[in-house]
Amino acid sequence: MLDYRSFLNSKYTSNVRTNILFTLREFLKYSSEIGQAPHVSSYSDAFILFFRYCDEVAHIRQDKLTFKKINKHLVEGFCEWLEAENGCSVSTRNQRLAALHALFRYIQTESPEHISLCRDILSIRMKKTQKIPPKFLPIEAIKMLLATPDMHSKEGRRDLAVLTLLYDTAARVQELIDLCVGDVSLAVHSTVKLTGKGNKVRLVPILPETANIIRLCMKENQLNKPQCAELPLLTNKSHCKLTRVGITYILNKYVSKARKTAPELFPEPISPHILRHSKATHLLMGDVNLIYIRDLLGHVSVVTTEIYAKTNPEFMRKAIEKVAANTSPKNNYTEEEKQELIDFLKRYRI
């Protein structure tokens, strides 16, 4: 079987302009340059699956995959294959199609001669999916989780900083990984500067407790110096920035410990993103305006943020109870009147 990832990175593809692989390499390079590096890995996975489909199902080898051999029917067949043969969910199918859409949007700009093909590919619609409520941890679980790391060890303090920042700032994992010392302001009103999708920057306030643990970690790692501004804030034992896998490991390590005490508070499985969902949900249940939550999460539109309100039964229950409190008739009976009513009913009991 062909090693698709190696083939994608081979020198051969860079010299064949009629082959889509040349354009693909240029697209991935362009995506990294414009600040979409977090998407490049996902894009690559999608394209590798597409090449595998072309090779094994459509019988078109990667070195023969020219623009003339790509059409709407081929891409639609790929999408069907993802679900039927590769076991992908509708959500994953849409994600893979989105990667192809991104590629062909780039192609129609860089190579107008292929605009007809690009329009055909871009006309393939995403499948509708049932919106599943974002999983979140109750506040009791968050308290227990943040109380688990050992504050007497350097590693425990680092881990607490990771967990606290993930929850307090509702940061995406990549945003936390990219956090530098200079992005943190530990003034009276401490803030963290997060760089999100499309290199969009937002300032997020953090609690004094969060600021204290960051201050402690910076001090013991000798990062509280002006020349350290560009260094990563959170590192591993080799003093390299943490990875997505590393952060997931840290979270699951403490979730496993906390789950032994209260298994009902920690569903399976748990990923770092659940802390982002949890923060948004807790703010919403605390009656924080949806606009502020949108800004905290770094969403472009409040419509994206509305999923927390639309799919959260607890939020709906609170809203109903709030209305009911203002409309339901009040019980104005005194204790004496209540007792008289009970005695009256007892006399006529059958």
The stretch 126-143 carries a mean pLDDT of 86
| Annotation says 172 is catalytic | yes
Per-residue model confidence (pLDDT) at position 319: 58
Q: Is residue 333 part of a domain?
A: no
Nearest C-alpha neighbor of 134 from the set 343, 11, 274:
274
Query: Model confidence over 211-221: pLDDT tens digits?
Result: 999 999 999 99
Mean pLDDT computed over every residue of the chain: 85
The residue ranking higher by pLDDT, 330 or 255, is 255
Q: Is residue 342 part of a domain?
A: no
Answer yes or no: is pLDDT of 262 > 90: yes
Domain that holds residue 244: 139-273
**Residue at a domain's end among 273, 293, 311:** 273
| Annotation says 197 is catalytic | yes
What does the buried/exposed string (b/e) look like for 230-241 if buried means 16 or more CB atoms within 10 Å of the residue's CB? ebbbbbeeeeeb
The amino acid at 176 = L
**Residue at a domain's end among 224, 256, 273:** 273
Q: How far is 226 from 333, CA to CA, in rounded Å?
A: 69
Answer yes or no: is pLDDT of 191 > 70: yes
Q: Is residue 340 part of a domain?
A: no
User: Which residue in the list 39, 96, 172, 294 is annotated as catalytic?
Assistant: 172
Q: How far is 83 from 294, CA to CA, in rounded Å?
A: 33
| Annotation says 128 is catalytic | no
Residues paired with 241 in a beta bridge: 235
Query: Model confidence over 288-304: pLDDT tens digits?
Result: 888 888 888 888 776 67
| Annotation says 101 is catalytic | no
User: Which residue in the list 43, 53, 254, 308 is annotated as catalytic?
Assistant: 308
Do 224 and 169 belong together in one domain? yes
The residue ranking higher by pLDDT, 287 or 323, is 287
Do 108 and 157 belong together in one domain? no
Non-local CB neighbours of 272 within 8 Å, separated by 6+ positions = 166, 173, 176, 244, 247, 248, 251
User: Which residue in the list 135, 193, 197, 215 is annotated as catalytic?
Assistant: 197
| Annotation says 29 is catalytic | no
Cis peptide before 263 (omega within 30 of 0): no
Per-residue model confidence (pLDDT) at position 9: 53
3-state class (DSSP) for residue 262 = coil
Do 169 and 103 belong together in one domain? no
Do 189 and 80 belong together in one domain? no
User: Which residue in the list 193, 273, 282, 318 is annotated as catalytic?
Assistant: 273
Do 190 and 225 belong together in one domain? yes
User: Which residue in the list 276, 277, 279, 294 is annotated as catalytic?
Assistant: 276
Per-residue model confidence (pLDDT) at position 38: 62
Do 173 and 253 belong together in one domain? yes
Cross-sheet strand order for the sheet of 184-185 = 184-185, 191-195, 201-205
The residue ranking higher by pLDDT, 248 or 327, is 248
Do 103 and 213 belong together in one domain? no
**Residue at a domain's end among 228, 252, 273:** 273
What CATH number does the domain containing 186 carry?
Answer: 1.10.443.10
| Annotation says 299 is catalytic | yes
Cα within 13 Å of Cα(256), Cβ side? 6
Residues paired with 195 in a beta bridge: 201
Residues paired with 19 in a beta bridge: 66
